[in-house]
Each structure stands twice: as C-alpha cells, then as structure tokens.
A and B are shown apart, each in its own frame.
Chain A
Amino acid sequence: NAGVMQNPRHLVRRRGQEARLRCSPMKGHSHVYWYRQLPEEGLKFMVYLQKENIIDESGMPKERFSAEFPKEGPSILRIQQVVRGDSAAYFCASSTGRDEQYFGPGTRLTVT
C-alpha cells in the first residue's frame, strides 16, 4: 500500500509565478489535509478537503492560495503570484476520518 505521494519534491519559482503542488492520498483515504512549515517555525494547518468539497479552510491565507480535491485525480494546492514569504515546506496528509493522519514527504517551495 503506497503511502501519501506528493510531487514535485522540490519546486523553484520566481516571484510572481504560480506554484502547483500535488498530493495523492493513501489508497482508501478520502480526507486530505495541507499543512505548511515555514523556516524555523512549526507546522500549521492550512486546509481540509474531502472529494470535491472544502471542509475547513480556516488556516488558508485569504489571497493567492486555493486548494481542490477533484472527483478524479490528486488534490492540488495552488499559490498564485508567489512571494518570498511563501518559501516553505508544504505537507499533505490523508486519513479515513477522525483518526490517524499519514503524511507525505512534502514539497519544498523556494521563491527566488
């Protein structure tokens, strides 16, 4: 059973470009979460999705950030017009419900 998969593992973008981060949950998991780990800071919740629905986006910045989890395919975290402050590690996790969350290896975004 493959774990949570994220790609790309590393992503470099210039200021103003768009970043697209992908997450495939573990097989059988329909709950997906995105967390962000800024340099020298702890992990912070961003958004929680189920298939085709955003359940909780209370941790998502109001502008430039969006997330989706379509009926088919991976969950996507999209950051428009990236700025240097968006440089961080972005982790995706999945679960079957209100139980153990399993994390992917992360995408390390660097904005130059």
Chain B
Amino acid sequence: KQEVTQIPAALSVPEGENLVLNCSFTDSAIYNLQWFRQDPGKGLTSLLLIQSSQREQTSGRLNASLDKSSGRSTLYIAASQPGDSATYLCAVMGNAGNMLTFGGGTRLMVKP
C-alpha cells in the first residue's frame, strides 16, 4: 500500500527566502506525481505534474524534482512571497489505477 509523507509539516520563513518542501513515497512504482497548493477553506490548485520518466518540471518560481528510485520529490520555491502562504500537497498516482494518494501537506507561512 502506497504511503506518502511530507516533511516538514509546517514551515515559516521570511519573505525572499528560497525554500524546499519534501515528499517521500514508499512504493516507487508510480505513474506520475503532482504538487498542489491549497488555501484555507478552498480547493486544490494544481502546480506541477511530473511523469515517472521525468526528472523535473518548472513553472515560474517553482521547480519540482523526482527521484523515483529513492521515492522522493522536492518542490523548490524561489524568492518566496507572502502570497505563497498556503498548504502544499504532493500526490502520487500508481501504475495501476487513477487514484491519487496524498501526503499530509506542508503548511507554509511566508512573513513580510
């Protein structure tokens, strides 16, 4: 059974810092991995999707990497801004089925 863990559970940084969020998964037989952002009381916004054959994906100030063999992904946020404050979730899709298995999230606070 796939298990997804995100460390740290919460992170507070001053504005302008570069930061890394971590995601690990127990079963390396994944089809893809997706990073989401969730604002309080809101739905999920898809940030980046990495296919199992890819090593990284970039979108603006965000860069996600994937090391499938070691069961790890990182989300790098450059030059953080207060507007980046949210909970960041990673989710993996296994090779069988379309369901996503989610990590518990990292709650990020960027202080002005």
Say whether A91 contacts B43, CB under 8 Å: yes
- A48 within 8 A of partner (CB): yes
- B42 within 8 A of partner (CB): yes
Task: Name the distance in Å between B38's Cβ and chain A's nearest Cβ.
Answer: 9
Partner-binding segment picked from B14-22, B75-83, B96-104: B96-104
Say whether B99 contacts A43, CB under 8 Å: no
- A33 within 8 A of partner (CB): yes
Task: Name the distance in Å between A60's Cβ and chain B's nearest Cβ.
Answer: 11
* Contact A42 B42, CB 8 Å, known A99-B49, A100-B49: no
Chain A contacts for B99, CB-based, 8 A: 33, 45, 48, 56, 58-59
Say whether B102 contacts A105, CB under 8 Å: no
Q: Classify chain A: how many residues form its interface, as a range.
A: 20 to 34
Say whether A48 contacts B97, CB under 8 Å: yes
Say whether B98 contacts A91, CB under 8 Å: no
Which residues of chain A (18-48) have a CB below 8 Å from chain B?
31, 33, 35, 42-45, 48
Q: How far is the CA of A105 from the CA of B40 in the complex (A)?
A: 11
Say whether B102 contacts A43, CB under 8 Å: yes
Which residues of chain A have a CB within 8 Å of any CB of chain B?
4, 31, 33, 35, 42-45, 48, 55-56, 58-59, 91, 93, 95, 97-106, 108
23 CB contacts below 8 A, A to B, read A4-B43, A31-B98, A33-B98, A33-B99, A42-B103, A43-B89, A43-B91, A48-B98, A91-B44, A93-B100, A95-B98, A98-B93, A98-B98, A100-B34, A100-B46, A101-B46, A101-B100, A102-B46, A103-B44, A103-B45, A104-B43, A105-B42, A108-B41
